[in-house]
């Protein structure tokens, strides 16, 4: 952990990304406290009111406060990101660990399943699944998670293929440890570093996917606020109310960029080769 922190704090962009990610999480958690207005309360006297002291981000077509809706939308967007990535990671870890440890026909069957799912473009696969299901926040979480596990499965499989030949695994097998114990107690903890990086980088991808689906009207349905459906409402009045497109668009941009910077910083800090090269540069500079 000491080596990880030393390598991570050298990456200033990653630190900035981590700070922004933390602030976004706090804003989402504290949305009921800090939101100045009820996000679903219409006001016919304030329809498409531009940004002002009363409504810093303006109002929408129903007179609802955009800032309050964006704060509550952050809760939905971040929840979709974390839960869907959790679902994808669970499926990917189970299948990747099984394929990497047992090998043979088990490995071949699971990898052919991965290849089959990867053949279909993910966004179109999402659209096809959602065409048969009622859009809701839980449906969106499940569908994004179920269609996003393939990368994690391949990462875990690769780690298991390398680790199962190590001495501590061979020793565990020789003393009669069960396969389940070897997988979960010995191999998986040593294979989690790339999985954690993939999960961190998967959160912004899930947020972007949810925003795209909501923008198309297939995501979380009104009156629940998300950044995507605020953008969807703003496109019809973009000439009259620029703030309905600019502010949620900037929120998506900042969130995705911050998570990517944070995830790349974690990846670089966990890579021992990059840590060693960075240490040599610092030593020579000193």
pLDDT in tens, 191-249: 888 888 888 888 888 888 888 888 877 777 777 888 888 888 888 788 888 888 899 99
Q: Binning pLDDT at 50, 70 and 90, where does residue 70 land? A: very high
Secondary structure (3-state) at 48: coil
> How is the chain split into domains, by residue range?
58-285
Distance separating alpha carbons of residues 264 and 266, to the nearest angstrom: 5
Q: What percent of the chain has pLDDT over 70?
A: 94
Secondary structure (3-state) at 65: strand
Query: Is the whole model's pTM more than 0.85, yes or no?
Result: no
The correct CATH number of 58-285 out of 2.60.40.10, 1.10.3720.10, 3.90.380.10, 2.40.340.10 is 1.10.3720.10
Strand partners, 65: 59
Q: Binning pLDDT at 50, 70 and 90, where does residue 272 land? A: low
Mean pLDDT over residues 110-125, rounded? 85
Tokens found for residue 133: 């299901």
Cα 46 to Cα 36, 60, 67, 262: the distances in Å are 15, 8, 14, 39
Tokens found for residue 43: 């006001």
Tokens found for residue 117: 């799912």
Q: Binning pLDDT at 50, 70 and 90, where does residue 23 land? A: very high
């Amino acid at each position: 952990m000491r080596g990880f922190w030393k390598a991570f704090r050298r990456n200033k962009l990653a630190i900035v990304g981590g700070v922004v990610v933390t602030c976004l999480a706090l804003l989402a958690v504290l949305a009921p406290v800090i939101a100045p207005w009820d996000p679903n309360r219409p006001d016919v006297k304030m329809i498409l009111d531009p940004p002002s002291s009363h409504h810093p981000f303006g109002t929408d077509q129903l007179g609802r406060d955009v800032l309050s809706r964006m704060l509550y939308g952050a809760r939905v967007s971040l929840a979709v990101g974390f839960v869907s990535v959790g679902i994808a990671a669970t499926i990917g870890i189970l299948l990747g660990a099984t394929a990497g440890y047992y090998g043979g026909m088990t490995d071949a069957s699971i990898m052919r399943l991965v290849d089959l799912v990867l053949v279909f473009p993910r966004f179109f696969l999402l659209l096809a699944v959602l065409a048969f299901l009622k859009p809701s926040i839980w449906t969106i979480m499940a569908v994004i998670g179920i269609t996003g596990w393939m990368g994690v499965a391949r990462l875990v499989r690769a780690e298991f293929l390398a680790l199962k030949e190590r001495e501590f695994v061979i020793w565990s097998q020789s003393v009669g440890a069960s396969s389940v114990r070897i997988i979960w107690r010995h191999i998986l903890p040593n294979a989690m570093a790339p999985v954690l990086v993939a999960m961190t980088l998967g959160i912004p991808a899930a947020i972007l996917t949810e925003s795209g689906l909501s923008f198309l009207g297939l995501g979380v349905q009104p009156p629940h606020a998300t950044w995507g459906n605020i953008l969807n409402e703003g496109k019809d009045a973009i000439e009259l109310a620029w703030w309905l497109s600019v502010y949620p668009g900037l929120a998506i941009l900042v969130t995705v960029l911050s998570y990517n910077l944070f995830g790349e910083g974690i990846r670089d800090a966990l890579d021992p080769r990059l840590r060693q090269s960075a240490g040599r540069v610092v030593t020579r500079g000193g």
